[in-house]
Amino acid sequence: MLQGEGQPTLRDRVEQHLQTIYRDVPLSLPLAELAENLLAVMRLEAGQNPPAQHVNHWNQCDVILITYGDSLLAREEKPLVTLKRFLDDNSEGLLSAVHILPFYPWSSDDGFAVLDYSSVNESLGDWDDIGAIAGDYDLMADLVINHCSSRSLWFENFIKGQEPGRGYFFTASPQDDLSAVVRPRTSPLLKEVETSEGTQYVWCTFSHDQVDLDFRNPEVLQQFVSIVRHYLDMGVRIFRLDAVAFLWKIPGSNCLNLEETHEVVRLLRTLVEHARADAVLITETNIPNRENLSYFGNANEAHCVYNFSLPPLLLNTLVTGDCRYLKQWVMSMPPAQNGTAYFNFIASHDGIGLRPAEGLLSDEELNSLITTMQSFGGHVSYRALESGESRPYEINIALVDALQGTVEGPDEWGLERFVCAHAIMLGLEGIPGIYLHSLLGTHNDQQRVENTGHARSINRHQWNLDALQEALDDQDSSHSQIFRRLKTLLAIRRRQGAFHPNATQFTLHLGSAILGFWRQSMDRRQSVFCISNISRAPQPLNLMDINLIDAHQWRDLISGEVYEHHDQQLELAPYQTLWISNLPDHR
């Protein structure tokens, strides 16, 4: 049935998605019935009017803090309560949203091998604690959609041939052509298991404790739609679709970014935005840049995509003192349509991905970057190639240690370099995400790596809250200096219309040692020239080079300096950033 002047109903749209997803899959139930089931699970009406399209559900005030639920610990207090108390006491309204990494019961990978999607890990707290955070901050949660734990009830039932779980996991034969499969790990792809139906080989993209789900089975899709509905009810507004690029598998293909995968994202977008108009989907796809951008679709897939190429390119820029590669990439990035945005980050719980730099940095540049990071205490994780060889996949290091020096070694400019990196990210088009350990200037945790045996643990430190507060109260500590300076940048950013995630951006050409770009507010009232010296040598800058309009009085929003003459000659200190605006900073 069509609603209004030939417009498809919500049920029609859902059924169209399903036709694409299951076009090559024989089903035991009609697609119309499956569509009705999904609408019932989401509590949606078949003829429900669609939400307005191309609407930006964000502005320059939005900043997402990324953290584990137990990164901050206090005696005799649930970690989620401790987290909220720290945010309430210290964030000063500068953080609009919190991404709590998987807070469900799990068996490995620090949460990404989920045992039970419907529960909160008792060691962290409960749904009331999650709700308290969601009441004061936009809550971002992981939808770990590609795989779940091999110790989950679903997988136990798969082995027993019972429901729910029977037929939930993707199986293949060792004789299948799997040579083209793209993976981020070096472990064997297939895991042999004995089941009630005999020996089967389950697909494990990431680890043998993380078994891939089989979305060819519509019951799996219904389960995840039910999980989405539950998370919405619990206050989740932003959904991070973890490892979604690997979702659909077809032996003989690379099993990455398949059309069925994109259509599942489109279906989730349709369902979620009808359930909550300002809900946001973010795809986590640690893949080469062009493939990553494909998850925007035609503004009908992800609202936001992780800007995975930014971390390695910005890190390379600051350790080499040369911004050419970063500048070329910034120039090549298409403006996000209204209703979509880039999700910018330069550090996270994972490492600094190298695949998103493929085709952007040469092998020589990548090898130099890897060698430099290893000299700063970093580790390297690898992935398997079709040939059976291994290739570096990511660098594991705390960002403050990654920026302690240059390719020539450590120096005295580490703090300024670290702040410069964040000033660049905060100025760029997109919504910024800041990892808690970057906000706090947390160093490499080599002891945690030794304890866990996992390289990624280097950047997953757990702070005792009393020790952290003592460090932040010490005005001379690096933690205190970083925390205060980053909060100052966040406070300035939120007051500038030119820093709206969708505001116009244009790249400036100021040489290889100065990165510059221009932002203009959507109402065209404000211009901000973002200019950073990305080298450890002072750099001259003549304001004539950025063509300031004489009719305005220009000032640096960071230092407060006013520029009386538009041909004024400046000298940028090592790693100094200017945000030169034609409007005063309204405090």
pLDDT at 551 over 80: no
* Among 196-205, 352-361, 480-489, the least confident range: 352-361
54 belongs to an annotated ligand binding site: no
Out of 70, 129, 209, 242, which one is annotated catalytic? Answer: 242
240 is in an annotated binding site: yes
Range 528-549 average pLDDT = 94
Residue 205 structure tokens: 């993209």
The strand pairing partners of 106, in sequence order, are 114
CA 113 to chain centre: 18
Confidence label for 126 from pLDDT (cuts 50, 70 and 90):
very high
More confident residue, 566 or 111: 111
Buried residues in 542-573 as b, exposed as e (16+ CB within 10 A) = ebebbebeeeeebbbbbeeeebeebeeebebe
Q: What pLDDT does residue 4 have?
A: 52
pLDDT, average across residues 514-541: 97
Instruction: Report DSSP state, residue 456.
Output: G
Average pLDDT over residues 400-419: 98
Q: What is the pLDDT of residues 423-435, one digit of tens each?
A: 999 999 999 999 9
Mean pLDDT confidence for 528-543: 97
Q: Per residue in 225-263, pLDDT tens?
A: 999 999 999 999 999 999 999 999 999 999 999 999 999
Domains of the chain, first to last: 504-581 (2.60.40.1180)
Helices (H), 213-284: 218-233, 259-275
Mean pLDDT, range 179-204, rounded to an integer? 95
Average pLDDT of the chain to the nearest whole number = 95
3-state secondary structure of 567: coil
pLDDT mean over 397-409 = 98
Count, residues in the chain: 587
242 is in an annotated binding site: yes
Contacts 24+ apart (CB under 8 A), 315-318: 315/346, 315/352, 315/369, 315/373, 315/402, 315/403, 315/421, 316/357, 316/361, 316/365, 316/369, 317/515, 317/534, 318/403, 318/406, 318/417, 318/420, 318/421, 318/534, 318/575
pLDDT beyond 90 at 549: no
C-alpha 557, offset from chain centre: 28
Q: Which of 37-41, 64-68, 177-181, 279-283 has the lowest mean pLDDT?
A: 177-181
Q: How would residue 566 be classed by pLDDT, with cut points 50, 70 and 90?
A: confident
Q: Mean pLDDT over residues 20-44, rounded?
A: 96
Indicate whether 408 pLDDT > 60: yes
CA dihedral 78, 79, 85, 90 (to 10 degrees): 160
Q: What is the mean pLDDT of residues 474-486?
A: 97
- Average pLDDT (40-69) is 96
Assign 6 a pLDDT band (cuts: 50, 70, 90): low
Q: What is the rounded distance in angstroms from the CA atom of residue 587 to the CA atom of residue 558?
A: 12
Percent of the chain with pLDDT over 70: 98
350 is in an annotated binding site: yes
- Per-residue pLDDT, averaged over 524-535, amounts to 97
Q: Looking at residue 1, what is its pLDDT?
A: 43
Compute the average pLDDT of residues 380-404. Answer: 89
The answer to the question of whether 437 is labelled as a binding residue is no
Residue 585: predicted pLDDT: 76
Residues 155 and 157: their CA atoms lie apart, in Å, by: 5
Active site residue 24: no
pLDDT in tens, 196-215: 999 999 999 999 999 999 99
Q: What pLDDT shows up at residue 38?
A: 98
587: pLDDT confidence band, cut at 50, 70 and 90?
A: low
Q: Give me the residues paired with residue 563 across strands.
A: 554
pLDDT exceeds 90 at position 565: no
Single out the residue of 10, 9, 12 nearest to residue 31, CA to CA: 12
Residue 147 assigned as binding residue: yes
Q: Which sign, positive or negative, has the C-alpha torsion 176, 182, 186, 189?
A: negative
Specify burial of residue 16 (Cβ count, 10 A radius: 0-12, 13-18, 19+): middle
DSSP 116: -
Structural contact between residues 446 and 377, judged by C-beta atoms closer than 8 angstroms: yes
DSSP for 408-419, written as a single string? TEE-TTHHHHHH
Q: Could you give the angle at which helices 31-42 and 259-275 cross, rounded to 10 degrees?
A: 40
pLDDT bin (cut points 50, 70, 90) of residue 2 is: very low
